[in-house]
């Protein structure tokens, strides 16, 4: 890395936005994300039905889900509910959960990573041992353990997702801080007597922010999927409230009689994660065309 690397917060900001604006990836990604967010916000407007309503005419005589048709544009699920409405309302739950969990994890991971990377051996080794423990911890056990001790609910799902997401970022950030710390401009700041807090806030954090933002966008996809596996374990979003995760959970064994029950929420996840990843990719390249995301 070179000292003249483009930064988020300084006078080079314009050029960052300038580069970003010229990238088709950024536009496509941004539009997809916007689309999904709008769908979530205006779910009640776009939904043809109540996502919880179990239509009598929504099941065949033998009780199987109906394929897409006029009344149910994306078909129905095993209880005769409208898949389109559930997917739209599910967007709210899935996006909110993933957003909060990811943001919290990003903050925790960054703070721990920066502290560990910046401060002495003692702080570093204590924080990194904790991180290592979380990394070496089987995620299922953590999820089930926490979910069992607290009763399953949306906040608990967020807590679990945060717990299993922050550690890899802390690792990553620490590595970045270690290399930034030795850089000339930090050294000079230290020489003119700047305090630790100032150095961290004004010199180190801006360098790290890019890594954090990129990481958070990329991990969005996996968070939504992990939420699905939480439903599988019984500690996810409580039914009958729809989330993309528990929709997949309810549909997965019906792959032969109602494949749309899996396909619809999967495509929703795909659009969202595709959008976030394109955007994340574009931001990374706009920040520095040559930086790569290391995990």
Q: Which is nearer to another protein, 194 or 271 (CB)?
A: 271
- Residue 151 interacting with another protein (CB under 8 A): yes
- Please check whether residue 17 is in contact with residue 26, taking contact to mean a CB–CB distance below 8 angstroms: no
Listed in sequence order, the residues at least 6 apart from 268 whose beta carbon sits closer than 8 Å to its beta carbon are: 36, 87, 90, 91, 244
- Please check whether residue 161 is in contact with residue 227, taking contact to mean a CB–CB distance below 8 angstroms: yes
- Residue 243 interacting with another protein (CB under 8 A): no
CA of 136: how far to CAs of 122, 128, 140, 164, in Å? 21, 12, 12, 11
Quote the tokens at residue 292: 């790569």
Q: Which is nearer to another protein, 59 or 205 (CB)?
A: 59
Binding marks (x or -) toward another protein, 191..230, rule CB under 8 A? ------------------------------xx--x--xx-
Taken as a whole, the chain contains a residue count of 295
Binding marks (x or -) toward another protein, 98..137, rule CB under 8 A? ---------------------------x---xx-xx-xxx
CB of residue 144 vs another protein: minimum separation in angstroms?
Answer: 6
Q: Which is nearer to another protein, 55 or 194 (CB)?
A: 55
CA of 135: how far to CAs of 65, 109, 164, 217, in Å? 41, 12, 8, 20
- Residue 167 interacting with another protein (CB under 8 A): no
CA of 241: how far to CAs of 51, 87, 123, 237, 263, in Å? 8, 11, 43, 7, 19
CA of 86: how far to CAs of 14, 72, 83, 89, in Å? 41, 11, 5, 5
Total residues binding another protein (CB under 8 A): 65
- Residue 28 interacting with another protein (CB under 8 A): no
Part in contact with another protein (CB under 8 A); list of ranges 4-12, 33-41, 198-206, 273-281: 273-281
CB of residue 2 vs another protein: minimum separation in angstroms?
Answer: 10
The residues binding another protein (CB under 8 A) are 52-54, 56, 59, 61-64, 78-79, 125, 129-130, 132-133, 135-138, 140-142, 144-146, 148-149, 151-152, 221-222, 225, 228-229, 232-234, 238-240, 248, 250-257, 262, 266, 269-270, 273-274, 277-278, 281, 290-295
């Amino acid at each position: 890395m070179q000292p003249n690397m483009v930064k988020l917060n300084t006078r080079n900001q314009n050029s960052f936005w300038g580069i970003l604006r010229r990238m088709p990836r950024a536009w496509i990604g941004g539009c997809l994300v916007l689309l999904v967010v709008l769908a979530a916000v205006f779910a009640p407007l776009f939904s043809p039905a109540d996502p919880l309503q179990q239509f009598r005419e929504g099941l065949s005589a033998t009780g199987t889900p109906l394929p897409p048709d006029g009344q149910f544009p994306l078909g129905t699920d095993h209880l005769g509910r409208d898949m389109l409405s559930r997917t739209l309302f599910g967007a709210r739950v899935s996006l909110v959960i993933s957003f909060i969990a990811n943001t919290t994890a990003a903050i925790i991971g960054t703070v721990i990573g920066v502290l560990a990377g910046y401060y002495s051996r003692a702080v570093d080794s204590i924080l990194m041992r904790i991180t290592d423990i979380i990394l070496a911890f089987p995620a299922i056990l953590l999820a089930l353990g926490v979910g069992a001790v607290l009763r399953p609910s949306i906040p608990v799902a967020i807590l679990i997702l945060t717990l299993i997401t922050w550690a890899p970022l802390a690792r990553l950030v620490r590595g970045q801080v270690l290399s930034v710390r030795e850089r000339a401009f930090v050294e000079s700041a230290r020489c003119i007597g700047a305090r630790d807090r100032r150095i961290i806030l004004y010199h180190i954090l801006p360098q790290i922010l890019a890594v954090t933002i990129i990481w958070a966008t990329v991990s969005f996809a996996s968070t939504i999927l992990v939420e699905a596996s939480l439903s599988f374990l019984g500690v996810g979003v409580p039914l009958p409230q729809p989330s993309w995760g528990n929709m997949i959970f309810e549909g997965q064994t019906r792959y032969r009689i109602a494949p749309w029950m899996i396909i619809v929420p999967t495509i929703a996840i795909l659009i969202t994660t595709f959008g976030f990843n394109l955007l994340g990719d574009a931001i990374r390249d706009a920040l520095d065309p040559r930086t790569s995301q290391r995990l």
